[in-house]
Amino acid sequence: MRYLVKDIFTADPSAHVFNGKIYIYPSHDIDAGIPENDNGDHFDMRDYHVFSMDSIDGEVTDHGVALDIKNIPWAGRQLWAPDAAYKNRKYYLYFPLKDKTDIFRIGVATSDKPEGPFIPQSDPIKGSYSIDPAVFDNGDGNFYMYFGGLWGGQLQRYRNNKAIECGHEPKDDEPALCAKVVKLSDDMLNFAEEPRDVVILDEKGEPLKAGDHKRRFFEASWMHKYNGKYYFSYSTGNTHLLCYAIGDNPYGPFTYKGVILTPVVGWTTHHSIVEFQGKWYLFHHDSVPSGGKTWLRSMKVTELEYNEDGSIKTIDGMRN
């Protein structure tokens, strides 16, 4: 495993291959002096840097601030984990941000270059909510966004894409709350449809239950394809695992298959998976360089390997 950036704290790395390079779009952790709590108020990030690498072992270039909260017209606070996409010679940066009423929405900003700077739209995406947008290029002209996160990510405040009066998680024996998936519009700036549930099934074909904290979705969606199958990966949050499930199309359903990454130092795990120069890599983060401060994280990369049956070999999160 390799830490990528040492002069600032970075987390939630979304990695993509653009123009033959790896570009990474992470959160930028700062010490805001806010006490730690389950709503994540201490994660008070205020801008994004973009990084690039010509090779997996090569120098990491910091391209500086790509987007600052001060330049987003509808901004309240907390620029959390972003993602990026490329279509029609334009780059798109998707970001969760609390609006002026302290509700998370998902915004989009555009640039002619993968490193930015990015110019934000004047309003968040209509119908968006919660956090952790991950945008998947299906290779057929269609792009899909996966999003959602519990607790501070506010997903428990919604049912059927509508806010409910009193946000709560289901009972332990009820189906777990799901991440959401939605096809994006041709211009990449809007939802083309109503978001749908990303249903994860157990080995019996039943949806995972809310009490199954070691397998159910919490946050940090990612999608990639391998050998024609769709791999939906995610964090279990309070049990600190990165898990994955496999399906036959972008909407699912997906069948739970196992653990990608065991717990790391630090509360959260948030990742991306990308193929580059014939190998697969897992980008993630931990809090080792900050001495275990959960809100000051550092992104890192390690090779990801598959077994012959398409399952992913579990990676030890404590391995250096």
As annotated, the active-site residues are 12, 219
Alpha-carbon gap, residue 159 to 118, rounded angstroms: 32
26: its two tokens: 């992470």
**Is 318 in contact with 295 (CB distance < 8 Å)?**
no
**Is 81:11 a contact under the CB 8 Å cutoff?**
yes
Residues 217, 243: Cα–Cα separation, whole Å: 9
Q: What are phi and psi of 129, to 5 degrees?
A: -160, 170
* CA 320 – CA 305 distance, rounded (Å): 17
* Closest to 317 measured CA to CA, from 274, 279, 246, 267: 267
Question: Do residues 232 and 200 make contact, with C-beta atoms less than 8 angstroms apart?
Answer: yes
Angle at 116 between CA 112 and CA 122, to 5 degrees: 85
Tell me the C-alpha to C-alpha distance, in Å, between residue 66 and each of 77, 81, 128, 153.
Answer: 17, 14, 22, 23
Tokens of 232: 């939906």
- Token pair listed for 261: 């990454």
Q: 56 with 24: CB under 8 angstroms?
A: no
With b for 16 or more beta-carbon neighbours within 10 A and e for fewer, the 30-69 pattern comes to: eeeeeeeeeebebbbbebbbbbbbeeeeeebebeebbbeb
According to DSSP, the residues that pair with 24 across neighbouring strands are: 15, 51
